[in-house]
Structure 1
Amino acid sequence: MPIELKMPALSPTMEEGTLAKWLVKEGDTVKSGDLLAEIETDKATMEFEAIDEGVVSQILVAEGTDNVKVGTVIAVIAGEGEDAGSAKAAPAPAPAPAAEPKTEAPAPAKDVAPAQAGAAPASAPTPAVPASAGTTKDGDRIKASPLAKRLAAEQGIDLKSLTGTGPGGRIVKADLEGAPAGAAAPAATAAPAPAATAPAAAPATAGAIPDFGIPHEDEKLSGMRKTIARRLTESMQQSPHIYLTVDIRLDALLKLRGELNASLESRGVKLSVNDMLIKALAVALERVPACNVSFGGDVMRQYKRADISVAVSIPGGLITPIITDAGGKSMSKISTEMSELAAKAKEGKLQPNEYQGGTASISNMGMMGIKQFTAVINPPQGMIMAIGAGEKRPYIVDDALAIATVMSATGSFDHRAIDGADGALLMKTFKELVENPLGLVA
C-alpha cells in the first residue's frame, strides 16, 4: 500500500510552512532516518526525516512552495515489493479534484444570462469573468486553488499566463506574487462601464511598492521575513512602548571579565561582555519582578524565573534563542550555551523549544559601533533591553572629571504591563549590577 508523506508539524504552533528543498527525487530508495526535505518554518529551516522504507514514487509539492498546510500530502512512497508506478498513479489526482467543486461557483452567472439576454446584448462578455478567474482555459479547466482564483480576479491577473507550482501543477497563492496585472480586472468588475473600471485595476496587493521606473530586482520574502514584519508591526501597533535610557560605566565589568577569562581559559570558556549583560538583566528582573511580566488582555502573567531571549542576526532575518533561567546559571554556563545556540541559529538548526518563549529580550549592537538605539518588544514579552557600544567618554568619577568606558542601555517597556517607575527601577538595578559586577558571581 502506498505511504503518504504529509507536511509535518515541526512545532506546536506550526500551521503551515515552506517546502524549501527536496533532498530526494522520484525513484530514490529511502530508509528510516534518511533526510527527505528541508522545511522552512517562520523561524528556522528544519530537516524532515523518513520513518518508512520504500521508493519515492511521486513528489506532489514542488520545492519552494509556500504556505503548505500541515497534513498536506507532499509525496508518496511505494512500500517494499510494491510497484512504484502503481503507487504513483493512485494519489496523483487526489489534490486537484479536492478543491475543484468550488470552481463551479460562477455557474449561476450562466443561469442569469438568459434572463438578461433580451434586455441587453452587452451581457454576453460576462463569461470572461470565470475565464480570467481560472475556471476555463481553451475549454479546459485551469487547476488553481479557490484563494488563488479570488486573488487573481481582484488583482486583474490572468491565470492562463501563470505556471502552477502546487500539487499536480495547481496554481496557488504564491504563484500570483509578482505576476503582472492583466486585462481580467475590467471584465471582472462591471461590464456596462469598462472605462470606469480601469482605475480599479491600478491598486495592487496591500503593501505593494509602486514602480517609478527605477532599475530594481524584487526578491520573494521568506517565511521568516514575513513573520518578522508581521510580529513587529503588531508589536508597535498593539503595545504602547515607553523608552528609558541609562549610561553605564563598564570599567569594573571589563576588569572582572579579564580576571574570569584568565581562570576559565583551561576549561575552554571565554566570557563575552554580552554573556555578562545577559546575567545582569536576568538578576535585575528577579529583583524587580514587576518587569518580568506579560500583558494578556484581562490577565497579567508574572513569571517565576528570568528566561532571556538573545537577538542573533542570521542570513535572511533575526532569531532569538533563549537562555532559560539565566539568573540561576553561572556566567560560564551562559557563555557555553550562548555559543552553542548562536551556532545552531546561524545553521538554521534551532529546535522550537530553543527559540519559543522567553520572558524578556536583550539586543546588543555595540559590536557594530552603534552608540544607542531603541528595540521593538518581542510579544508577548513585556520588555527588551537595547545595548549600545562601550566607548571612552568624559565621565564624572569620584566628583572629578575623568575618562571612562561607558555604554548606553535603553529599555523598551510595554506600558500596558509595566509602569514607568517600575521600568526605571529595573534600569537602575541593571546599571548597579553592571557597575558593581561582583554581584553577578555571588
Structure 2
Amino acid sequence: MPALSPTMEMGNIGAWSKKVGDKIEPGDVLVQIETDKAQMDFEYQDYGYLAKILVEEGSKDVPIEKEPQVEVEVETEQPTQQTESAQTIAQSVTKTDRIFASPVARMLSKEHNIPLETIKGTGPKGRILKEDVNRFLTTRQEQKPQVTEEKAAPQKKAAPAQTPTPAQTPVQAAYTDIPNSNMRKVIAKRLTEAKTTTPHYYLTSNVNFDAILKLRADLNASANGKFKLTVNDLIVKAAACALRAVPAVNSSWNDEYIRQYHHADIAIATSTPTGLITPIVTSVDTKGLETISSEIKSLAARAKENKLMPHEYQGGSFAISNLGMYHITSFSAIINPPHSAILAVGTVEPKLVPDSTSEKGFSVINSLTFTLSADHRVVDGATGAQFLSALKSYIENPMSMLL
C-alpha cells in the first residue's frame, strides 16, 4: 500500500481497474485506494503484466509500506525477449508455500486460534476469505457433541401450579458500535497531538457586523444573479487582509526556525459525511470576492463527494472554522498544525450598545464574536491582539479590504 498523503498510515482497497493477465503500461490506473482524506486512483509507473492480486477488492485498513508499492505481483516485460501471452504469464507465477488470506480472515483465525492451513479458501487462487473462516467455525460448532439433559427423578408430591407470566419483551441493545473510518482515526490522532503538544491560548473580540452585511447585500444585488456572496466569503477575505497586515500570524513553527508565508493560504473547515476536512483557498490576499466565493463553493462540494486531490487539503498557512450557521455564539477551535492559528467564527446576533446620537441613548447592532486560537511559540499575545484588531477594522470598514 503506497502512502498517498503525509498523514496516511493505512488505506482501503477499492475497485481494481486491471485483472490478472492484463498488460500494464506507465500511467495506467491500477486500483482505487481510499486514503484518510479521499478516494484516489493509483497509477502504475512501469511496464509489465498483472500476474497476481494479493489484496482483494474491499479490503480495509491495509497498512502502508515504507516503499510506495501496492501489494500486487507484476511480471516485468523483458524488452529482449518475445512477449508471452497474458494467459501464459498469469499461469507461470511460481507457487510457494505461503497461505494467502485476507486481513480480516487472518484476524478471525487468530482470534479463534484456528490454524490457517486447516481452512479451505474459496477466494481467487484459493485465498482464504472471512466467509471461509466463519463457515469453518459454524461447521465446528455443529460437530460438537450434544449434551443430553438428564431425566428428572419423579417427585413424590406435585409442585404447586405457577401463575403464567406474560411473554417477555425482547431486550433492546444498549448501544451501537460504529467502526472508525480512516479519516476519523487521523482526525483523532492529529487533534490529540495538536492539543497536547501545541501551547494554545485564546483571544476573543466582538465586532459590529452591520457594514459588512450591507456591503454583501449591495454586491449581491448588483451581481444580477451572476454570483451570490456568503457572509463567510467576506470573513475569509477580511482574514486574509488581516494576515497581510500582521504577517507574524501567517506563520508556522519549526524547532530551528519560524516559517513566515508570503501569501494567505486559508483552510476552510468543512464538515463531510465521513468527518472534518480543511480544503484550502490559496493566495486569498490576491483574489477578489467573486473568485474566493466560487473556489470555496467548488472545494466544499468536492469535499463532500470525497473528490479532493491531496494538494487541495494539505498545507495552508491559516484556518477558519465557522459555526455561525448553527447559531453558536462563540467557541474555541483546535489549531491544525502546521498552522500557528485558527479563527473560530460565531453567529450574528442583535446587541444593544450605547448611542449618544439616538434619542433612546442606545441602538441595536448586528454583533459577531471571533475567537482566535494561537500557538504561543509563534504568536505572542500582543501579536494575536493586533491581528484581531486588524480583522475588526476590516470587518467594520469593509470597503478598505476592496482597495
> What's the TM-score, normalizing by structure 2?
0.74
1:342 correspondence with 2:300? yes
One-letter amino acid of the counterpart of residue 47, structure 1: D
Q: Mark the runs of 5 or more structure 2 residues left unpaired by the alignment.
A: 78-82, 134-171
Residue in 1 aligned with 2:286?
Answer: 328
Tell me the alpha carbon deviations over residues 130-186 of structure 1, each in whole angstroms, 9 at most, x when there is no partner: xxxxxxxxxxx89799xx99x99xxx9445289999x985899xx9xxxxxxxxxxx
* Deviations 1:30-89, CA, capped at 9 Å, x for gaps: 887775532112221113357789986643212233224331333658988624364155
Pairing 1:137-176 to 2, within 5 Å after superposition: 157-160=111-114
Q: Who is 1:18 aligned against?
A: 11
> What residue number does 1:293 align with?
251
Query: Which residue pairs with 1:319 in the alignment?
Result: 277
Give the % identical residues. 40
Corresponding residue for 2:149?
Answer: none
**Structure 2 equivalent of residue 106 of structure 1:** none
Hey, what does 1:352 align to over in structure 2?
A: 310
Paired residue for 1:441? 402
Change (3 A) 1:49 1:302: closer
CA contact (8 A) 1:76 1:91 kept: no
Native 8 Å contact 1:37 1:49 kept in 2: yes
- Say whether 1:249 aligns with 2:173: no
Q: How does 1:190-269 map to 2 (within 5 A)?
A: 215-265=174-224, 268-269=226-227
Match of 1:304 among 249, 262, 265: 262
Give the partner amino acid of 2:198.
S
Cα distance between partner residues in 2 of 1:9 and 1:92: 29
Selected match of 1:84 from 87, 90, 101: 87
Distance 1:283 1:85, change over 3 A: same
Tell me if structure 1 keeps the 8 A contact 2:55–2:102. Answer: no
- Answering whether residue 389 of structure 2 is matched by residue 396 of structure 1, we say no
Task: Answer with 59-68 or 346-355: which moved more.
Answer: 59-68
Which of 1 and 2 has higher RCO (CA within 8 Å, sep 6+)?
2
SS of alignment partner, residue 258 of structure 1: helix
Residues 101-116 of structure 1 aligned to structure 2 (within 5 Å): none
Alpha carbons of 1:354 and 1:57: their partners in 2 closer, same or farther (altered >3 Å)? same
Deviations 1:90-109 (A, max 9, x none): 1775xx85xxxxxxxxxxxx
Contact 2:20 2:53 in 1 (8 A): no
Q: Distance between the aligned counterparts of 2:73 and 2:355, measured in 1?
A: 68
Counterpart in the other structure of 1:417? 378
Greater CA deviation, 371-380 or 56-65?
56-65
1:229 and 1:168 map into 2 onto residues whose CA distance is 38
Paired position in structure 1 for 2:389? 428
> Which structure is larger by alpha-carbon Rg, 1 or 2?
2
* Separation of aligned partners in 2, 1:339 and 1:218: 34
Deviation at 1:216, TM superposition (A): 2.5
Residue 224 of structure 2 aligns to a residue whose secondary structure is: helix
- The answer to whether residue 332 in structure 2 is matched with residue 374 in structure 1 is yes
Q: Is the 8 A contact 1:17 1:39 kept in 2?
A: no
Question: How many pairs align?
Answer: 345
Provide the rounded CA distance (Å) in 1 between the counterparts of 2:295 and 2:229.
11
The normalised TM-score by structure 1 is: 0.68
CA distance in 1, matches of 2:211, 2:380: 30
Question: Structure 1 unaligned runs (5+)?
Answer: 1-6, 98-140, 176-212
Partners of 1:51 and 1:142 in 2: how far apart? 26
**Quick one: structure 1 residues 86 and 274, their matched pair in 2 at CA, closer, same or farther if it must change by over 3 Å?**
same
* Alpha-carbon spacing, 1:221–1:85, altered in 2? closer, same or farther (3 Å): farther
* Contact 2:263 2:285 survives alignment (8 Å): yes
Structure 1 residues 90, 426: closer, same or farther in 2, change over 3 A?
same
Task: Give the partner amino acid of 1:90.
Answer: V
In 2 relative to 1, CA 263–20 (structure 1 residues): closer, same or farther, beyond 3 Å?
Answer: farther
Amino acid at match of 2:296: M
Instruction: Work out whether residues 21 and 89 of structure 2, in 8 Å CA contact, stay in contact via their aligned partners in 1.
Output: no
